[in-house]
Structure formats: structure tokens, C-alpha cells
Structure 1
Amino acid sequence: MLTIKEIAERANVSRTTVSRVLNNSGYVSEEAKKRVLKVIEDTGYVPSENAKSLRTKKTKVIGVILPKISTETSSRFVNGIDEVLAKEGYQILLTNTNLKPEKEIEFLRLLKSRHVDGIIQSATNINQPLVDEIFRLKIPFVMVGQCISGLSNVVFDDLQAIKDMVNLLIKKGHQHIAFIGVDEKDRAVGYLRKAGYIEAMKESNLDVEKSWIQKGIFDMKSGYDCMKMILDSSQNKPTAVVAVTDRLAIGAMQYIKEIGLSIPEDIAVAGMGASELSKVISPSLTTIDFSIEEAGREAASLLLEKINGQNNREIDRIIKYRLLERDSI
């Protein structure tokens, strides 16, 4: 492999000049720059990333920790991150916890050992061991979707978003509204969205039957099972149901159709997440668009500010959402 010294000799310049051309830094005359670039072009020279990272103390790699890599949400999120980072010459190293909390700490340590320049994490379960590990990293870090005091966070207004959805259903004349959620250890999707549902119902002086609240996991079968439990165990049947994800809502729709009920004539259905499937299912699903790509772009921009020393404060950025009213209500 050609060395910087050999390039300098062939171009009849100093090694410092070659280094300045390669790193696009410092003054180099146009004539000298042309000679260096011609040698590079003629020889097909590619700078060693290891050597470059030793000089700059940067690997130009960002670690991203995802809860489930196979979801549409994760894909949109990573696209937003890459849109910003690629322009600055950064690569992404993806890790997938598959919703296993113990994997989060494992991957934090792995990414630190790979000397990434920073980490973006989308977590579902915030616990003290995880928080302690993040603070031990001592490298630029941004949390997405959850909020940890003392860190920079990119978050959604989960509580207000579901309140807006419930209030829309109430405005449509619904007083018996069921809820399909997830484990409350997931503070954003599990705890805050349930709290928003209960707040909206109470603020309108509407009763909430315990059997109307069911907890599932992040898939359509779980939504199907939860809807079955709601309708089988309730003496007073709800006229509407709101689910904390589109997948849960679509599963609920499947069960409602299966037992011969109509949507929205018998039961209105609403979800959250604005998935592609929400647009094509029949009837089309009313949902919340959380601007997932924008969250990825914001997280990447915030991390770059920290890496480049432009912003050393820990701040929260709240992503705006849109309520998409469709045929399911």
C-alpha cells in the first residue's frame, strides 16, 4: 500500500502538504494540490481509516441502539439519522436489542469498545443500571423516545397526543372508550399514553371500566387478543377503542371484523404511529403521525453538535405530531 511519504516523493511536495490535501485543512498552493491529487488518482490511493482516526481522534462512526430493528418505525428512524450523518461523512453501526433490556447495557459497552464518536439510543425500558451505564460512557450521547434527567433527549409528547385522540373520539359522540396499551415499564408508550387516556376520560367526566383497559405487546396478534378480552369481559360494550400503536389497533380491527361487527358503525378504532399499513387497511386507520424521520434527524443533529463541541448543554427536543383522522372513526 502506498504511504503518505511515497505520495509526497512522487508529487515532489512535503508530507505535511499531502496530509493537508487529504484532510482538506491548512493552506496548499493550487499547483501542489493538483500534483498530489494526480498521484492519488493515478495510484488509486485510499487513506487508511485507522491512521486517519489516530490523527483526528475520530472514527467517523456513530452507534445506534434500536429496540427492534425489523419494524417500520426503526427503518424510518434510521433513515432520518443517516440523512444527517451521511452529509458529514459518518457511518452508522446498528445494534438490535430485540426488546431485551439486558442487551442495552451489553451494546453500550460494545459500542464504547469500538470507539464510536457518539451513540444514539432508542430505548423502551429505562432502569437504573442502564442510566448508570450511560453516564459512565463519557462520550456524546442522545436518548430518543424516553427522557432521562441529565442527558440530551429527543422525545414525543405521548401524553398530549393520546389525549387529543381520545378527545376527538369524545367529540364524535363516544363515551365508552376502551384502551389497549403495553407494559408501563416503557414509560413513553406504556405509562404516558395510558395516563393520557385516563386524564382525557376523567376531564370529560367519563367512566373507565377496568375491563376496558388491556395490556399487550408490540404486535397485531396481541391487539387481536386484547380486543377479544375487552369485548368478552365487558357487560357494557365500548363504542370505541384507542391503541398505543398501529399494530395493536390493526389487530383489534381484525377481531372486530371476525365477529361480524362493523368499523366504525359498531366500534370506532384509533391507533398511533402512522404506519404505512394504517393507510391501506380497510377502513383506513385514524392515527398519530409522530414524525419518526424528523426524530432521527434531530437526534443526529444534536449528537453532531456535541461531538463538534458546539453545544455542551444537555437539552430536550420535543418532536411535533399530527393527528390523521381517517375512516376508522
Structure 2
Amino acid sequence: MVTIKDIAHKAGVAKSTVSRYLNGGSVSKKTKAKLDEIVNETGYAPNTFAQSLKAKKTNMIGTIIPRLDSFATNTILASIDEELRNKQYQLIITNTNQNVKREVENIYTLAKQKVDGIILLATVVTPAHRKAIAEVNIPVLLLGQSAEGLNTIVHQEYEAGYKLGSYATELGHKDFLYFTVLEEDQAVGQLRSKGVLEALKKNSDTTIEIVEANFSFSKAYEKAMNVLATTSATYVLCATDNIALAVMKAAHTLGLSIPTDFSLSGFGGYEVTSIVTPTITTVKYPYKQLGTLSVTNLIKLIEGEDSISNLELPNILVKRESTIAYENPSI
């Protein structure tokens, strides 16, 4: 492996001269031409990580994710990684397992590692988050959760919920079961749920059973096993596709048929919803676009451009086999 010492020996110059040359410092035209030739001949590639430790700008971006077992998170991360590579940045990933305290700790940890900026897929935004973001004094971009005064990119959550809730009522259903998540989650637990419930309540004779579930597939499955055995709902809405998949498994376990016994839908547009049988009606979110936009806008912040405030991304309803029009068995 060729080193700076080898380059210096071949060129007949000091290591400090080579180091200055590699870092864009001042060297004579004659020395630069000679070093250019030697570097090309040897195929020398500088240790970018070691260089970054000395540089004010490290070209490293930190990301904080809530969990690893998520289609949405992995799709966003893949997009972020690809876009960062295209822009000559390196990606550092930290996982919190949906632990809010760890989210805050990781903001400080990444700042100590001298990242140029942080992309935070936040579960919630607390005063501790705001304090950390203010104290680290580097650009932080939030994905998925809106927060006044901070730079965020979010999905149109209320619109997504209202869109799917309206579709469910248009199919003629009147008895609904809605698996939601913790209300502390502003995006999913509040905005998305608000859209769903306001759409369902447009009809005065609607009944809605609300059950708090969990992003975890196994925990959502346990909850669904208990609830599906007694529910009279003809349409089950789930706050995420992961919960919808858990409900589908529970239905199969209990000998229930989808969509004959009840229609089923989720949110997210996970690829697996188009593979299972029946395919699941969902609202598809532009996760790849979210990742690309996050990199573009974070780099703008790093380079000193104005804050982006709050960007909202639209979504689309994808109608599939798991939902059908309600037919009154008494008629």
C-alpha cells in the first residue's frame, strides 16, 4: 500500500510538502506537476477519514433512526446513502430502538464525532431535543415530525388519513376498527389518526373502535389476536402497513377471511403489501424522495443557505384486493 512517505521519497520532497499538496495547500508549479505524475502512476488514494480529522469540514453526515426493522426507515436510509455518495459525503448511522433519551444522546454523540450535519428520523420532538439541537450548533434536519422553529421534511399525514378514511366510508362500511399508535407520535398518532377519524365520522351512524397498537409486528399481532376475536367491525384500518400485516396474520390464525369477514388497509406503501394475498390497500409514501430531499436540503444548510422551514410531501391511495364494498347480509 502506497503511503505519503513513499510519495515523498519518489518526489524527493518532505512529507509535509506532500501533505500540503494533498490538502490543497501552496506548493510550486514544478512540485505540483511532479506530485501529480507520481500520484497517477502509483494510484495513491489518501485516507479521507484521517484527513477529515484534521479538517474543519469532515464531509460526514450523521443519521439517527428509530429502529432497524422498518421498511420505511431502510428505504429512506438507502436513498440517503446513495445521494451522499454522489455528493462525496460519508454516512454514519445510529439506532435508538425508539428510545427518546437515546435520540437526544445521539445528537450530542454525533456532534462530538464532528459530523457536518445530522438527519434525525424522530419519534417525537421534546424540549430535550430542542435543547440538544441548539447546543450542538450544527445543522439538524428532522424527517417525519414537524416542529415549529426547526428544519423539517414531513409527509402530508392528515391528508393521508382523511383520504383513506373517506375511501372506507365510500365503500359503504359503517362499523370500523382503527389500530392507532401512541398519541405522543405527532405524525402518526395525532395527524394521521385525526384525518382517519374525521373522515369516518362524516356519517352520523358510524361506529368506531379505537385500539392502541405498536410499531412492532409481534406486539401488534398479539393485540390483534385479542381484538379480532370479538370485534364486529367490517373494515379494519391500521396506522401502518406493519400493523396491517400483523392483523392479516392474526386473521389467518383465527380462521377469518380478508376481505370477506372484514376489509383491511394500512399506511406506508411497503413493497410486501403488493406481494401478500390478498394484496393490501394502502397509502403510499415517497420514502425514496424523502431521503434524496433530506440530503439536498441538509447540504444547503451546511453551506449556509437559508433554513428550509417545513416541507410537506404528498402521498397516493393504492386500492387493492383487501378492501371491498360492504354488503348488508340482512338484505
TM-score (norm 1): 0.87
- Pair 70,231 (structure 1): closer, same or farther in 2 beyond 3 Å: closer
1:94 is displaced (CA, Å) by 0.3
Q: What residue in structure 1 maps to residue 220 of structure 2?
A: 223
Q: What residue in structure 2 maps to residue 90 of structure 1?
A: 89
Kindly provide the CA deviation profile for residues 198-226 of structure 1, in whole angstroms up to 9, marking residues without a partner as x.
111223334344xx111111133333333
Q: What residue in structure 1 maps to residue 326 of structure 2?
A: none
1:113-128 matches, within 5 Å, as 113-128=112-127
Residue among 249, 259, 266 paired with 1:264: 259
8 Å Cα contact 2:151-2:309 kept in structure 1: yes
8 Å Cα contact 1:4-1:19 kept in structure 2: no
For residue 68 of structure 2, give the secondary structure of its aligned residue in structure 1.
Answer: coil
Q: What residue in structure 2 maps to residue 312 of structure 1?
A: 306
Q: Would you say 1:323 and 2:320 are equivalent positions?
A: no
8 Å Cα contact 1:60-1:117 kept in structure 2: yes
1:187 is displaced (CA, Å) by 1.2
Hey, what's the Cα distance between the residues in 1 that align with 2:251 and 2:237? 13
1:231 is displaced (CA, Å) by 3.6
TM-score (norm 2): 0.87
Kindly provide the CA deviation profile for residues 68-119 of structure 1, in whole angstroms up to 9, marking residues without a partner as x.
0232222111111122211111010000001111111111111011000000
For residue 98 of structure 2, give the secondary structure of its aligned residue in structure 1.
Answer: coil
- Pair 26,70 (structure 1): closer, same or farther in 2 beyond 3 Å: farther
For residue 260 of structure 1, give the secondary structure of its aligned residue in structure 2.
Answer: coil
For residue 268 of structure 2, give the secondary structure of its aligned residue in structure 1.
Answer: coil
Residue identity (%)? 28
1:158-177 matches, within 5 Å, as 158-177=157-176
Q: Would you say 1:294 and 2:289 are equivalent positions?
A: yes
1:228 is displaced (CA, Å) by 3.6
1:165 is displaced (CA, Å) by 0.7
Hey, what's the Cα distance between the residues in 1 that align with 2:190 and 2:40? 58
Q: What residue in structure 2 maps to residue 104 of structure 1?
A: 103
Instruction: Please list every run of 5 or more consecutive structure 1 residues that lacks an aligned counterpart in the other structure.
Output: none
Hey, what's the Cα distance between the residues in 2 that align with 1:307 and 1:168? 42
Q: Larger deviation: 291-300 or 186-195?
A: 186-195
Hey, what's the Cα distance between the residues in 2 that align with 1:60 and 1:155? 25
For residue 272 of structure 1, give the secondary structure of its aligned residue in structure 2.
Answer: strand
Hey, what's the Cα distance between the residues in 1 that align with 2:7 and 2:91? 31
Q: What residue in structure 2 maps to residue 186 of structure 1?
A: 185
Instruction: Please list every run of 5 or more consecutive structure 2 residues that lacks an aligned counterpart in the other structure.
Output: 324-331
For residue 131 of structure 2, give the secondary structure of its aligned residue in structure 1.
Answer: helix
Hey, what's the Cα distance between the residues in 1 that align with 2:146 and 2:6? 47
For residue 293 of structure 1, give the secondary structure of its aligned residue in structure 2.
Answer: helix
1:50 is displaced (CA, Å) by 5.9
CA-atom RMSD in angstroms? 2.8
